[in-house]
Amino acid sequence: MISVALAGSTKYAKHCAAALAAQTDFSLSLVITPEAKPSGRNKLRQQNPLSSFAEQADIPQIYVREKISAETKNELNKYPRPDFLLIVDFGYWIPQWLRAWPVKQPLNIHPSALPRWRGSSPGQFVLLYGEAVSAVSLIEVVATMDTGAIYWQQPFAVAPTWTQTEYYEHAYSLVADALPKLLRQINSGELSAKPQLPDSPTPLAHKLTRDDGFVAWRVLQQAVSNQSGVVQNAELSPVLAATHQHGTSTPDLLLTATRALSPWPQLWTSLPTRKGDVRMKIHSMERKNGQITLEIVQLAGKKPAHWQQIKSAIIG
């Protein structure tokens, strides 16, 4: 029996847990997951998908608060060491003592063609930079983020219509299907890891914030009017400015960003209206007859609506 402790929280971690739980030669011995936090108007605590799965499957859980701490270590020491610690979309720094905890190996699933796009947001950057091919990787967890030796890497084509959600769903479904066989091969010594190149050819795919989706209204107007002109760096977030400098045209950048940044942080602008500037999210844009158009937008505090339905009522 191969024992696995799984650290994660999202539906992607749940898919991987379910793939292992369905096998008779695996034991999910423990789940390490963030503590439920109050959310919504009523500040209700809601379990994450992995925690809900663990509860239903009667798998013990350790809850992490702000960070993996001495308290986490004390809780962990109450349980037998697993053969593997599997990190799936977890979002916490893994200290040395936790990397040393499993008997055989700490492993991480990273949804990019490492060493390309190390960091916490690889899918968003793959889409922003218009890459047609990516991969999902199973790697050793080491001190430096996403630099561990690679046990397995599965390339896949990136569909030009994908949002980040579709990118991640595809990547994690590939590895979930392969995971039981891969862990058996690593456990038996049949599958060995190959070192990564030390340097990545791409920028760090850092965690995105709301500000990363900003584009100035002037730039949007210029693009939808099919006008050419110089775009100043201050008119784009640093992430979008770097992509623009990479050689992506303004219209292509905006079309790509609506998908790559959906559902978070979303492309947005500060829209001048009769009542002052209002934050507006751009949910979708389209290219029609060679020209891009605003489609579904959302003003702050309002529901999504078609741009043509609201523009005459709000713009002075």
Taking only the tens place, the pLDDT of each residue in 210-238 is 999 999 999 999 888 877 778 888 899 99
Taking only the tens place, the pLDDT of each residue in 26-44 is 999 999 999 887 665 665 6
Taking only the tens place, the pLDDT of each residue in 127-165 is 999 999 999 999 999 999 999 999 999 999 999 999 999
> What are the start and end residues of each CATH 3.10.25 domain in the chain?
210-314
Q: Which of 93-102, 224-233, 238-247 shows the highest mean pLDDT?
A: 93-102
Average pLDDT over residues 61-87: 95
pLDDT at 316 over 80: no
CA dist., res. 40 & res. 34, Å (int): 17
- For position 62, what pLDDT does the model report? 96
For the chain, list the strands marked E by DSSP.
Answer: 2-8, 26-34, 38-39, 44-45, 61-64, 84-88, 105-110, 133-140, 150-157, 267-273, 276-282, 285-288, 291-294, 296-299, 305-306
CA dist., res. 277 & res. 272, Å (int): 4
- For position 230, what pLDDT does the model report? 82
What value does the mean pLDDT of the chain take? 94
CA dist., res. 312 & res. 316, Å (int): 8
- For position 291, what pLDDT does the model report? 86
Structure confidence at residue 315 as a pLDDT band (50, 70, 90): low
Average pLDDT over residues 241-259: 92
Average pLDDT over residues 110-124: 98
Task: Please report which residue ranges of 189-295 form alpha helices under DSSP H.
Answer: 217-224, 238-245, 250-260
Q: Which CATH number fits domain 2-188: 3.40.50.170, 3.40.50.300, 3.50.30.50, 3.40.630.30?
A: 3.40.50.170
Which two tokens mark 82?
Answer: 């697993």
Query: Which has more confidence, 110 or 247?
Result: 110
- For position 225, what pLDDT does the model report? 82
For the question of whether the overall pTM of this predicted structure is more than 0.85, the answer is yes
Taking only the tens place, the pLDDT of each residue in 175-203 is 999 999 999 999 999 999 999 999 999 99
- For position 82, what pLDDT does the model report? 98
> What are the start and end residues of each CATH 3.40.50.170 domain in the chain?
2-188
- The structural architecture, per CATH, of the domain 210-314 is Roll (3.10)
Q: Any idea which of 8-12, 66-70, 120-124 has the lowest mean pLDDT?
A: 66-70
Average pLDDT over residues 73-91: 96
Taking only the tens place, the pLDDT of each residue in 206-217 is 999 999 999 999
